[in-house]
Amino acid sequence: MCGIMGCIGSVNSIPQVIEGLSKLEYRGYDSAGIAIIKDDSVIINKKEGRLQKLCDTLSEELYANIAIGHTRWATHGLPNDCNAHPHTDCSGKIALVHNGIIENHAALRKGLQAEGHIFLSETDTEVISHLVEKYYTDSIEAAVRKALPFLEGSFALAILCAGEPDKIIAAKKDSPLIVGLGERENYIASDIPAILGRTNKVYILEDNEFAVLSKDSAVITDFGGKPVEKEIFNVTWDPVAAEKGGFDHFMLKEIFEQPEAIRKTLSGRINNGKVDFSELGFDEIFKKAGKIYIVACGTAYHAGVVGRVAIEKLAEIPVETDVASEFRYRKILWRPDDFMIVISQSGETADTVSALKEAKQRGIKVLAITNVVGSTVAREADKVIYTNAGPEIAVASTKAYLTQLTVMYLLAVYMADLRRSYDPLKLKGIVGDLFYMDASIEMVLKENEHIKSVARKYKEVESTFFLGRGLDFAVALEGALKLKEISYIHAEAYAAGELKHGPLALITKGVPVLVLITQDKLVDKTMSNVKEVKARGAVVVAVCKENLKDACNECDEQVLLPRMNPVLTPLVSVVPLQLFAYYMAVFRGTDVDKPRNLAKSVTVE
């Protein structure tokens, strides 16, 4: 979603801000803009479309040691030059960029217009610049502090003012914002990748925190001006990990990074063949658990669906998995021993954060699984397990999903061990299989060219189906999501047995049906569904375990997976589906890493 990058220093800040914005492109956006102060005036350039379009408007001679920039993902108003950030006040002296949504913008706009303020855009953001103008006398810091209490909703703000070229003001509520601490240069950014390679020292701003940045200092207070003691957070992400490293797209790179990612997720969590999560201090909660609610969005939700099956099977705890945006509309009959698991790659997904906060308000313990250290989810939950996948840049999540699955399996095994709910020898076997999972994934990655050739055959289709039973259905959901989000091909996932209750009507000659067949006990049932679709002219691509290949020989194509415990197959069966989606998108010429309309980090509800 929207990205913020600001820089104040002793050399030209414009290249820093442009580079920072380029590192945030992965979040998804539809316009970009920058504000600088030069010769006591604010100069703004903003353009609908890609960042490069903005760069084309910037003269090479342009120089300023203070700049704030933004990539906008439209919410209020069309994606066009006018609605792009930064926005200014009537005088053009105050400029600001904003992430989040000002919920009371309509009322504020009406009041400000009545007072004579002239609005140029349709955005909610523009009310902030006029509100700050209203309170401005001689200090931008004081004016912003006066304006903030009138804002309802979420905001991460970076503001500059023509008369005060030595400072950037920033404020945060319910939208992420970090301060990067450089050498005679400081930064404000919505996300860590923006400052990677410039500094690894950051302050992660909390809600209701306010920052005043100069080239030599970063002073953090609350909105009222009370100093806040901040700890410097050392970012350990390798800047090179956020580069493409020879791959055509981040997505392909991240698919191929999965064996390494899974090794990092497992690292330090298995001792003497046993999973150890004792440091979470959740053992009593795990032992007594009545019910677990797993809440997440999109791909992370799909990881939760697999997690539900694994936990119910191994730890014998009832689990409900919900999409976060729907969770709030349920009347959850929480019982004292219930707890919640939230899963989020970014740790900033607004719907997930809201569900988490709601549970906490009711006194429910929350365990978070996230990839981003210091993210909102990590800070708000009672305890956090990091997936350690490294930066995931492509909008389509791949290695994050796989590492989320890995954590779910580790948790299921750990809880099963504590609760003595599963044969200890079999548990050891599962841990052993997890340990060697990287090698199994590598074997599947060797099928790359084969999967590419399958994708080439079907690249013109308009509609596809993904089928499976049990865990295979959980992975079918993820396979269909991958295909639709990056190739824009209609893709539906169905529980194989459900097809004949309606969607079978959509199966016609030549429609590709991808079937997952990894659950030894369910092969016959799934194969009868395969026969049903084949009888209607579908072409069937099976992703099946090697030992089941004869049983699946009626399928038109087979992608084979190594033999393994059926409970763990999602860790490998998803990989061919990721590659299939990737190549379908490449063949259709879509913007693979930044698909239309989508954002990496969905920070609005």
CA 294 to chain centre: 17
Nearer to ligand AGP, 133 or 593 (CB): 593
The token pair that represents 270 in the structure block:
């298995």
Q: Is 322 in the site for ligand AGP (CB under 6 A)?
A: no
Least Å from the CB of residue 593 to ligand AGP: 11
Q: How far apart are CA 196 and CA 246, in angstroms?
A: 19
| 78-137 binders of ligand AGP (CB under 6 A) | none
The token pair that represents 147 in the structure block:
């304006």
Nearer to ligand AGP, 461 or 604 (CB): 604
Nearer to ligand AGP, 299 or 440 (CB): 299
Least Å from the CB of residue 395 to ligand AGP: 5
Of residues 125, 299, 529, 558, which one binds ligand AGP by CB under 6 A?
299
Least Å from the CB of residue 1 to ligand AGP: 10
46 and 85 in contact (C-beta within 8 Å)? Answer: yes
Q: What is the DSSP letter of 218?
A: E
Site string for ligand AGP, 567-596 (x = CB under 6 A): ------------------------------
Q: How far apart are CA 452 and CA 508, in angstroms?
A: 24
Burial of 99 by CB count in 10 Å (0-12 exposed, 13-18 middle, 19+ buried)?
buried
Run of H or E residues at 287 = helix 283-288
Q: Binding segment for ligand AGP among 65-73, 293-301, 432-440, 533-541 (CB under 6 A)? A: 293-301
Q: Is 22 in the site for ligand AGP (CB under 6 A)?
A: no
Residue 381: CA count within 13 A, CB half-sphere: 30
Burial of 438 by CB count in 10 Å (0-12 exposed, 13-18 middle, 19+ buried)?
middle
Handedness of CA 173, 174, 175, 178 (dihedral sign): positive
Q: How far apart are CA 498 and CA 505, in angstroms?
A: 12
Least Å from the CB of residue 32 to ligand AGP: 21
Q: Binding segment for ligand AGP among 101-109, 166-174, 395-403, 451-459 (CB under 6 A)? A: 395-403
CA dihedral 253, 235, 378, 32 (to 10 degrees): -70
488 and 596 in contact (C-beta within 8 Å)? Answer: yes
For residue 2, indicate whether it is catalytic. yes
For ligand AGP, which residue has the nearest CB? Answer: 298
Q: Name the residue with tokens 């939760």.
A: 304
Q: What is the DSSP letter of 65?
A: S
562 and 545 in contact (C-beta within 8 Å)? Answer: yes
The bridge status of strand 365-370 relative to strand 383-386 is parallel
List, edge to edge, every strand of the sheet that includes 490-495. Answer: 490-495, 463-468, 512-517, 539-545, 557-561
- Amino acid letter, residue 56: D
Q: How far apart are CA 211 and CA 203, in angstroms?
A: 10
The token pair that represents 24 in the structure block:
């945030």
Nearer to ligand AGP, 396 or 408 (CB): 396
Q: Is 487 in the site for ligand AGP (CB under 6 A)?
A: no
Tell me phi and psi for residue 412, to 5 degrees. Answer: -60, -45
Site string for ligand AGP, 327-366 (x = CB under 6 A): -----------------xxx--x--x--------------
Q: Binding segment for ligand AGP among 185-193, 213-221, 243-251, 298-306 (CB under 6 A)? A: 298-306
Least Å from the CB of residue 177 to ligand AGP: 17
**Of 2, 7, 544, 552, which is the active-site residue?**
2
Q: What is the DSSP letter of 206?
A: P
Least Å from the CB of residue 418 to ligand AGP: 27
Run of H or E residues at 493 = strand 490-495
For residue 288, indicate whether it is catalytic. no
Nearer to ligand AGP, 71 or 352 (CB): 352
Of residues 97, 102, 132, 300, which one binds ligand AGP by CB under 6 A?
300
Least Å from the CB of residue 344 to ligand AGP: 3
Distances in Å between the Cα of 563 and the Cα atoms of 141, 148, 419 are 63, 59, 28
Q: Is 28 in the site for ligand AGP (CB under 6 A)?
A: no
Q: Is 298 in the site for ligand AGP (CB under 6 A)?
A: yes
Of residues 396, 561, 572, 575, which one binds ligand AGP by CB under 6 A?
396
Q: Is 235 in the site for ligand AGP (CB under 6 A)?
A: no
Q: How many residues bind ligand AGP (CB under 6 A)?
A: 15
Of residues 143, 196, 297, 378, which one binds ligand AGP by CB under 6 A?
297
Q: Is 397 in the site for ligand AGP (CB under 6 A)?
A: yes
Q: Name the residue with tokens 């000002």.
A: 102
**Of 46, 173, 253, 600, which is the active-site residue?**
600
Nearer to ligand AGP, 109 or 264 (CB): 264
Q: Is 392 in the site for ligand AGP (CB under 6 A)?
A: no
Nearer to ligand AGP, 190 or 558 (CB): 190
Site string for ligand AGP, 456-485 (x = CB under 6 A): -----------------------------x
Nearer to ligand AGP, 13 or 265 (CB): 265
Q: Binding segment for ligand AGP among 140-148, 250-258, 389-397, 452-460 (CB under 6 A)? A: 389-397
319 and 417 in contact (C-beta within 8 Å)? Answer: no
Q: How far apart are CA 359 and CA 294, in angstroms?
A: 12
Nearer to ligand AGP, 188 or 369 (CB): 369
463 and 550 in contact (C-beta within 8 Å)? Answer: no
Catalogue the active-site residues. Answer: 2, 600
| Residues at the contact surface with ligand AGP, assessed by CB under 6 A | 297-300, 344-346, 349, 352, 395-397, 485, 601-602
